Structure 1
Amino acid sequence: MGRKTAASSAKSKEKRMQRKEEQNRISQAMAVVAQANKLEDPLQPFPVFRKFNKNGLEAELFAKKSTNLDEFIKEWSFNLTKKNMQLKYEQCSWGWCDSKKREELFDEAAWYLVAKGLDGTLLGFSHFRFDIDEGQEVLYCYELQLDPSYQRKGLGKFMMQVLELVAFKNSMKKVVLTVLKNNQSSKFFKALNYELDESSPIDDEEESYPYEILSKINKRLVPHQSPMKVNSHHCCSGHDHHH
């Protein structure tokens, strides 16, 4: 075997450096996520955002880990998700599965933001997680579900603002969510300045995807969005969480 040329040696050194940098970045991201998951109450820094009062609807908000939710709220959140989403799942390639959805909703990594009326009526919830997605620390919004009687009053928008505050206060790079294309809610999120994420798969002749991935970046931490890239592996990553 001949000796390595200086150029190939420099190249392999550069690759090693890049790998090391990437490993460091991921371990830093994991530390940020772990720190966020230790929170007692993500809403604690935002007392003013515990109350919603608009369009004749008054609500109180609280945030808890799924492991600390009482069974009544768990059952209600599953039933509300099923009522709002089952048909939309069945109309696309995913199909609906009770046990899969329960497993996702009540995973020990799941957090809940819950809105209830002053009389205790449960109005809506978001299931979210602090997670690593595409190598970045993110707040991933798995569900935003409101009881149909309390929609179109500004509560959903308010809850998304709360999630953004929580995400950015805890140094997440962005808020990410997956939306079914057959669901009108993509208009709702786009009106809140959510844009197509770089990880959103792009339809081609061979495959079309029933969902898209939207995100809002933390401008304080990510000064500019990197260009869109084709990426079709996302549907296998366990993020089948849809609005």
Structure 2
Amino acid sequence: MPRQPILVQRANQASAAQLAASITGQEELKASQHVDVALLTASELPQELREAVFALWERNMRTLYVESSFGWDPTSKERELFHTTSRFIVVCPTDNASMISQSDVIAYTMFRFDREDGQNVVYCYELQVHEKAQRMGLGKYLMQQLASIGRTWHMKKIMLTCLKANSAAKRFYITSGFELDPTSPEYISSDEEIDEGQIDETVNVDYEILSVLL
């Protein structure tokens, strides 16, 4: 396995507490939304929280995955989610005012530090918000924390993969400043010639890779 670039290596070796030092607005969010925010590594997730994280992903994404080229493979997804390099920012309710059980996860993002196309990046694998907690600014808050962490640890951009069928997510990411990344299968630069063969090769791709510079 090739050695990781030094900045990615340092970020991956950082403790949850070191990464959490970049998180902002926790007290304000706790007061206004009655939630707690925690940054945890995959190994630090208690079993109850781990199950809640996976349940929220399944609740939000199962239909989209079943109908996508990725297919429905919960075992593979569980391995990806809880990989040793996965990091989580988890939002949990502090009371039942939201009508969500306190054992539930109200929202979370799972991310890793990686190297993509010669750049050090924060790769956002998941950004999930409970259906009863949407339009409360939690997705925006989590994305802001990824940006803060990425800048602190000298990453160049945030990247993510978005299914084309997930139109609500795509709108959110575009509103948040994301654009089609040059590594996306259908990306064509402004000075690149387009030919029919190139278009035909990508016509069946049902996802896009998006990114935003930090």
TM-score bucket (shorter structure): 0.7 to 0.9
1:114-140 deviations in Å (ceiling 9; x for gaps): 011223452111110011111211000
Instruction: Give the C-alpha shift of residue 58 in structure 1.
Output: 2.7
Aligned: 1:43 with 2:26: no
SS of equivalent residue, structure 1 residue 95 = coil
Write the letter of the residue equivalent to 2:38: F
Is the contact between residue 55 and residue 153 of structure 1 (CA under 8 Å) also seen in structure 2? no
Partner of residue 102, structure 1: 78
Matches within 5 A, 1:15-164: 30-40=5-15, 41=17, 42-46=19-23, 48-53=24-29, 57-119=33-95, 120=102, 121-164=104-147
Q: Distance in 1 between matches of 2:213 and 2:63?
A: 31
1:80-134 deviations in Å (ceiling 9; x for gaps): 1011001001112221111011010011110001011223452111110011111
Aligned: 1:179 with 2:162: yes
- In structure 2, which of residues 181, 199, 206 is the aligned counterpart of residue 204 of structure 1? 199
SS of equivalent residue, structure 1 residue 132 = strand
Partner of residue 190, structure 2: none
Partner of residue 22, structure 1: none
Partner of residue 195, structure 1: 179
Write the letter of the residue equivalent to 1:137: N
Instruction: Give the C-alpha shift of residue 54 in structure 1.
Output: 8.9
Is the contact between residue 161 and residue 210 of structure 2 (CA under 8 Å) also seen in structure 1? yes
User: How high is the TM-score relative to the length of structure 2?
Assistant: 0.83
Is the contact between residue 22 and residue 148 of structure 2 (CA under 8 Å) also seen in structure 1? no
Write the letter of the residue equivalent to 1:193: G
State, as a whole percentage, how many aligned pairs show the same letter.
32
User: How high is the TM-score relative to the length of structure 1?
Assistant: 0.73
The CA RMSD measured in Å over matched residues stands at: 2.0
Higher Rg = 1
Aligned residues between the structures: 191
SS of equivalent residue, structure 1 residue 51 = helix
